[in-house]
Every structure is written in structure tokens, then in C-alpha cells.
């Protein structure tokens, strides 16, 4: 899932894989990254339009979907574009 950041250190030799150490951080997962992107989008939109998208449930869902899509794109690319036309009836 997207709730944690997990890492393992492996030793590979002679056809044997040995896990040397495993650790994780419950406060640094994909969901946390999505939240940061969503917060940034809300702040930027409010600066430009004066409209707070956080109060619009439909817009919030579209923002969540767009943030997750952007995160996935950024795992294989250096940049991405988030375009949400007609994000709110007031825009």
C-alpha cells in the first residue's frame, strides 16, 4: 500500500539472497507524498483564483486522483503536468 516507506538491505552471493536489515517509516509513504501535492495544488489555486478547493468534495477527489497519477508518472519521468479543467463550478 501507500502508507509506509520501507527499505531492505540484501546480500546476494552464490545464488543466495540474505536479508541483512529491514526498516520503514510510517510517516513517509506514497499517501504522504500525495497529500503534499494536493496541499500545494490547493494553495496555488487559491492564490490564483481566491477559491478554496479543499471545501469542494468533488474537486478534492479529482485532486487526489491527479496527485496519485502525477506521483506514478514521476517515478519514471523528470517532470509531469497536472491539468484539471473545470475543477470547480466557480472557476
- Looking at the domain assignment, is residue 47 inside a domain? yes
Domain containing residue 61: CATH number: 3.90.640.10
Number of domains in the chain: 1
Assigned domain for 33 exists? yes
Q: What is the pTM of this model?
A: 0.72
Each residue of 42-74: pLDDT tens digit? 999 999 999 999 999 999 999 999 999 999 999
Confidence of residue 90 (pLDDT cuts 50, 70, 90): low
DSSP the chain: --S-EEEEEEEEETTEEEEEEEEEETTSSHHHHHHHHHHHHHHHHHHHHS--GGG-HHHHHHHHHHHHHHHHHHTTSS------TT-STT-
Q: Is residue 91 part of a domain?
A: no
17: domain range? Answer: 5-74
Amino acid at each position: 500500500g501507500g502508507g509506509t516507506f520501507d527499505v531492505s538491505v540484501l546480500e546476494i552471493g552464490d545464488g543466495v539472497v540474505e536479508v541483512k536489515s529491514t526498516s520503514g517509516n510510517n510517516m513517509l509513504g506514497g499517501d504522504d507524498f500525495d497529500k503534499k501535492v494536493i496541499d500545494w495544488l490547493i494553495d496555488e489555486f487559491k492564490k490564483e483564483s481566491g477559491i478554496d478547493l479543499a471545501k469542494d468534495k468533488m474537486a478534492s477527489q479529482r485532486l487526489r486522483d491527479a496527485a496519485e497519477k502525477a506521483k506514478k508518472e514521476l517515478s519514471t519521468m523528470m517532470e509531469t503536468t497536472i491539468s484539471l479543467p473545470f475543477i470547480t463550478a466557480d472557476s
